[in-house]
Structure formats: C-alpha cells, structure tokens
Amino acid sequence: MGVFSDHNRQITCIYNSEDNRDVQTLAYIKASEKSVHSLDIANVQLTGTQWAELAERLNTQLCTIIDDKAIDKDIEHFDDSDCITILRQNPAALKGAIVFTKTKAKLVENPSKVLEFIDADSENIKKY
C-alpha cells in the first residue's frame, strides 16, 4: 500500500499554485463530478517517499518530471535523491501537475489534456 489514498472515485492532483497551467489543470479537475484531493507543493513539501511513489505511479524516473530549464542544468545524470532535493527546494521545477486515481496516473503539462484523463460519464447521454 502506498502513502497516497486510493479511492475509486477520487482524483488526486499534485500541483504548484504558482504555476498558472497547474492552477488551470486543477480547475478542470474540480469541475468534474469526482471527489478531488489536491496538494499544493508551493505550500506543502512532499517527502522523498511520496515523490518516489509518484514516480512509480507514473512509471518513470524522477528526473523525467523535472523541467531542466527551470533549474538550468542537465538532469539526466542526477539520481533520485538529487531529484527529490530539487523538487523540494524548487517546486517550479515540476514539469506539470501530477494527476492520478487508483488505476491511472499522468503528468499533465497542458491543462486541457487532463480532460482525456477524467472519465466522461457518457453512459447517460442519449444517442440519436
């Protein structure tokens, strides 16, 4: 079991409130009819364990979710410990909001792309 909650109908959003794209992504999610749990990394520091779990959920290495332009360095050769330090000290280095449910996770760099992530309730729409 991970450190983040795994509710079937809950969407979790890890975002930076100082990044306009992340704020827009969170707004899209809140407009859905699902329960939303959000963590603002500009105000709350995630632990190393939490960052490691997020990378695992995304099925990627931590260095891939860091915008190397934000830190002005090539991060390809950084280890996970270095990446955690970067993310904790510089929340703006996160490439986009991390959005996940119990079964899927996505790094959302373009706010409108989160709509692909949110399950549309199309069963109740009549087809003509």
Question: What is the mean pLDDT of the segment spanning 68-86?
Answer: 83
pLDDT at 127 over 90: no
Distance CA(111)–CA(94), nearest Å, equals 14
More confident residue, 78 or 95: 95
Contact 80, 69 (CB under 8 A): no
pLDDT at 57 over 90: yes
Least Cα distance to 7 among 31, 35, 28, 49 occurs for 35
Write down the pTM of the prediction.
0.86
Question: What is the mean pLDDT of the segment spanning 62-89?
Answer: 86
Fill in the amino acid letter for 119: D
Domains and CATH numbers, the chain: 10-109 (3.40.30.10)
The mean pLDDT of the chain is 86
Contact 102, 6 (CB under 8 A): yes
Percent of the chain with pLDDT over 70: 89
Tally of CA atoms within 13 A in the half-sphere of 115 that contains its CB: 6
Residue recorded with tokens 């983040």: 4
pLDDT 10s digits, 15-39: 999 999 999 999 999 998 788 999 9
pLDDT 10s digits, 92-112: 999 999 999 888 899 999 999
Tally of CA atoms within 13 A in the half-sphere of 83 that contains its CB: 24
119 Cβ contact partners less than 8 Å away, ≥ 6 residues apart: none
Contact 38, 13 (CB under 8 A): yes
Percent of the chain with pLDDT over 90: 59
